[in-house]
């Protein structure tokens, strides 16, 4: 690689970090700051476009959105969480917190929170909480960029802005690597598989305008419901059989036989070729773990385990410590992040010639799954 190419690559990768850092000082937040004034108010804009004002970073948080619960854990502020909903089981110790119900505002108010984080569709149930003067942030990310936004939004609300910048920077580097790896080594040579993803409810899937659809596309697949404008449509047997997916992913606890025994499904390529895989819902939600879901999809679609790509593990472990480690109170500075990204610049081959795929990593679609998929940052 020429010196000029390296300079271009370095500039492109540094731009990734600059975009992440730009969240903090750009359109995401507005803070009133005056010389000599007392602690400034924090004014945030949530995913419903509402201004949410905090007098200071939150110290007692209730999360009734499982993705936000995991995000708080990854930001290293889980000790500030005083209540969660019954679906917040990642990390498992979340269930040791007080369990609340978003349909029962009194259960939330009993926790005496100074911040509540909720899904967008829960707004109609939380008016009593808002009327009590408790700030509520509603999240509704519809893209991967939206997930980054919410990580930064939550980080600012809880006093973990520096940690959020570092986390988003790392996620962006990993997603960029995966995207280019797939383009240069997989879809450039091998056909893109048609994919049917079934959510927890039978026949319910993801359409265009969802971050999960974007994940399927980035991993090299073709979402069979990607032409539908409804975000979460319910498909029919006829639609799915006609679409003939090559891969089936499912989030429910149903046995595989539930799919193979459906009328007419024996005609589907995914069933005939035994390419039906369980997708852990914890890595297919709007938390930092979505990148594990992206890695899993690459494995399910092409049989390539990202952990076996020599450059990728070092990239995956950079910038952000394991969620099980104690998080340092001093996050990397912007300059430190830029230096770290420049050190990784040589890992990105933005040109697809030669391909990134190492000769030691054979393409496995014809040979089965190869080694078992595993995440890089274990969250078990």
Question: In the prediction, which pLDDT does 308 show?
Answer: 85
Q: What is the pLDDT of residues 277-294, one digit of tens each?
A: 999 999 999 999 999 999
pLDDT higher than threshold 90 for residue 221: yes
Tens-place pLDDT, residues 29-46: 544 444 454 557 999 999
pTM of the model: 0.79
Residue 2 scores a pLDDT above 60? no
Average pLDDT of the chain is 81
Among 7-16, 151-160, 228-237, the minimum mean pLDDT is found in 7-16
What pLDDT is recorded for position 38? Answer: 54
Contacts of 166 (CB under 8 A, 6+ apart): 319, 320, 331, 332, 337
pLDDT at 156: 97
Q: What would the pLDDT profile of 223-237 be if each residue is shown by its tens digit?
A: 999 999 899 999 999
Identify the pLDDT of residue 311.
78
pLDDT for the residue numbered 83 = 98
Contact 60, 113 (CB under 8 A): yes
Query: Which one is predicted more confidently, 292 or 10?
Result: 292
Highest mean pLDDT (candidates 10-19, 69-78, 320-329): 69-78
In percent, the amount of the chain with pLDDT more than 90 equals 68
Average pLDDT over residues 357-379: 42
**pLDDT mean over 352-369:** 46
The yes-or-no verdict on residue 16 having pLDDT over 90 is: no
- pLDDT value for 218: 97
Mean pLDDT score, 53-61: 97
42: left (phi over 0), alpha (psi -120 to 50) or beta: beta
Higher per-residue pLDDT: 168 or 371:
168
Among 150-154, 190-194, 304-308, the range scoring the smallest mean pLDDT is 304-308
Share of the chain above pLDDT 70, in %: 72
pLDDT average, residue stretch 13-23: 50
pLDDT tens-digit profile of 131-145? Answer: 999 999 999 999 999
**pLDDT confidence of 22, banded at 50, 70, 90?**
low
Specify the higher pLDDT residue, 34 or 238. 238
Residues 55-69, mean pLDDT to the nearest whole number: 97
Q: Could you tell me which residue, 108 or 315, shows the higher pLDDT?
A: 108
Please tell me the predicted confidence (pLDDT) of residue 327. 35
């Amino acid at each position: 690689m020429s010196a000029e190419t390296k300079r271009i690559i370095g500039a492109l990768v540094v731009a990734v970090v600059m975009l992440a850092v730009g969240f903090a000082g750009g359109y995401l937040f507005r803070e009133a700051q005056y010389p000599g004034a007392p602690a400034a108010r924090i004014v945030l804009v949530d995913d419903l476009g509402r201004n949410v004002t905090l007098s200071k970073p939150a110290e007692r948080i209730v999360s009734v959105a499982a993705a936000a619960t995991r995000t708080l854990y990854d930001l290293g502020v889980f000790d500030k969480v005083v209540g969660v909903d019954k679906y917040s089981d990642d990390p498992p110790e979340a269930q040791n917190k007080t369990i609340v119900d978003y349909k029962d505002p009194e259960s939330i108010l009993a926790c005496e929170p100074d911040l509540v984080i909720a899904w967008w569709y829960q707004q109609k149930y939380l008016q009593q909480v808002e009327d009590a003067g408790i700030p509520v942030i509603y999240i509704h990310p519809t893209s991967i960029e939206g997930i980054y936004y919410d990580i930064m939004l939550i980080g600012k609300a809880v006093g973990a802005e520096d940690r959020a910048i570092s986390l988003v920077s790392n996620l962006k580097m990993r997603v960029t690597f995966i995207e280019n790896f797939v383009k240069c080594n997989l879809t450039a040579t091998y056909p893109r598989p048609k994919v049917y993803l079934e959510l927890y409810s039978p026949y319910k899937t993801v359409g265009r305008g969802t971050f999960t659809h974007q994940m399927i596309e980035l991993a090299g697949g073709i979402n069979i419901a990607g032409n539908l404008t409804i975000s979460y449509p319910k498909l029919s047997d006829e639609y799915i059989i006609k679409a003939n997916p090559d891969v089936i992913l499912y989030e429910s606890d149903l046995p595989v036989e539930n799919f193979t025994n459906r009328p007419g499904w024996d005609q589907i390529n995914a069933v005939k070729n035994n390419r039906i895989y369980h997708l852990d819902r914890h890595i297919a939600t709007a938390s930092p773990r979505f990148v594990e879901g992206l890695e899993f999809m690459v494995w399910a679609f092409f049989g390539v385990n990202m952990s076996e790509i020599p450059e990728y593990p070092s990239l995956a472990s950079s910038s952000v410590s394991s969620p099980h480690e104690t998080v340092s109170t001093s996050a990397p500075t912007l300059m430190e992040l830029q230096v770290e990204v420049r050190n990784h610049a040589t890992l990105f081959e933005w040109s697809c010639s030669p391909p990134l795929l190492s000769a030691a990593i054979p393409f496995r679609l014809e040979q089965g799954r190869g080694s078992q998929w595993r995440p890089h940052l274990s969250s078990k």
